[in-house]
Amino acid sequence: MKRYWTHALGALTAVGGLAILGPACAHDDSSFFLNAVLAPPQGSANSGCVFTSDPTQPRLSTGVLDVDLVQGGNGDYTAWFLAGNQLITEGNTEQLQTETSRIIIQGAVVTVTLADGTKIPGGTGSYTAPSSGEIDPSAGETPGYSAVSFEIVDPATVTALKNQLPPFNDEWIVSEVKAFGTTIGGDHVESNTFQFPIRVCRGCLILWATDTTMEPQPNCLGTFETTPMLPSICYLGQDVGGVPCTACTSEDPFCLCPGFKKTAANCGTTPACCP
């Protein structure tokens, strides 16, 4: 994944220029802020998973990441945030004064750790996630809002978590996200640091066959009581469960027989579980 270090250099330049430029380059967490992680829209199969700037829409207090299922999709955890702008409007057509308080989002600095704050073995740790978007200035006391997405768990960290997590076990991680950008007036802005807990699992969002006469259990070898249908999801393996195991067997053998010990003896009795 390409990393963008120019932001870090720009931040150092901004710090070095504080004595000259004063508050123009200082960030204010209350002016540009990340308000919430948005929940997948209801009926997203028809709406195309469109996240809006409506501040009353459903939001997530925690996330769920199935590291086996997600690798059949984007391979990461992408979160949509409701971002706010409390800078006041500067534009004035009567005085020929242009608007300078609109915020142009450029990306976020992301740090992913275990729940206790320690580094995930083999994980990336911290990285810059590029993004784009804009937020209008506030209207009176009402902030301007916009929906913006960031990759808050990268594929390398997903792979590291998968390698250390046994089937059907779970653990908690925390993704810390600090967005950055510029105003149209040229000022660098940074948001508050948003902490988002995510429950990581292997197989918890997958729907397994209901026929229990076939071993090992669970598996995707049996039949289903009803024909499984994909739920309305925006990102495979993320937050929304009930995905039929048949939807991921081609990407990951885990979806066929999770946790099955592939020894010569076992594969002789259940060869379908040893692709």
For the segment 163-222, what is each residue's pLDDT rounded down to a tens digit? Answer: 999 999 999 999 999 999 999 888 899 999 999 999 999 999 998 887 777 778 888 888
* pTM of the complete model beyond 0.85: no
pLDDT of residue 261: 80
Cβ–Cβ < 8 Å for 129, 153? no
DSSP reduced 3-state for 231: coil
- Angstrom CA distances, 209 to 138, 215, 223, 241, 257, stand at 52, 11, 6, 15, 11
pLDDT of residue 118: 97
**How far is CA 188 from its chain centroid?**
24
CA count, 13 A, side-chain hemisphere, 31: 21
Bridging pattern class, strands 32-38 and 188-201: unpaired
**Euclidean distance between CA atoms 21 and 17, whole angstroms:** 6
> Which is nearest to 102 in space by CA: 185, 21, 7?
185
Bridging pattern class, strands 144-153 and 126-135: unpaired
Q: Which two tokens stand for residue 241?
A: 């469960």
- Cβ neighbors of 35 (< 8 A, separation 6 or more) are 55, 81, 82, 83, 84, 145
pLDDT of residue 124: 96
Mean pLDDT by runs of 10 across the 275 residues of the chain is 40 37 47 94 66 93 94 88 86 51 95 97 97 92 94 97 93 98 91 97 90 81 73 85 84 85 81 80
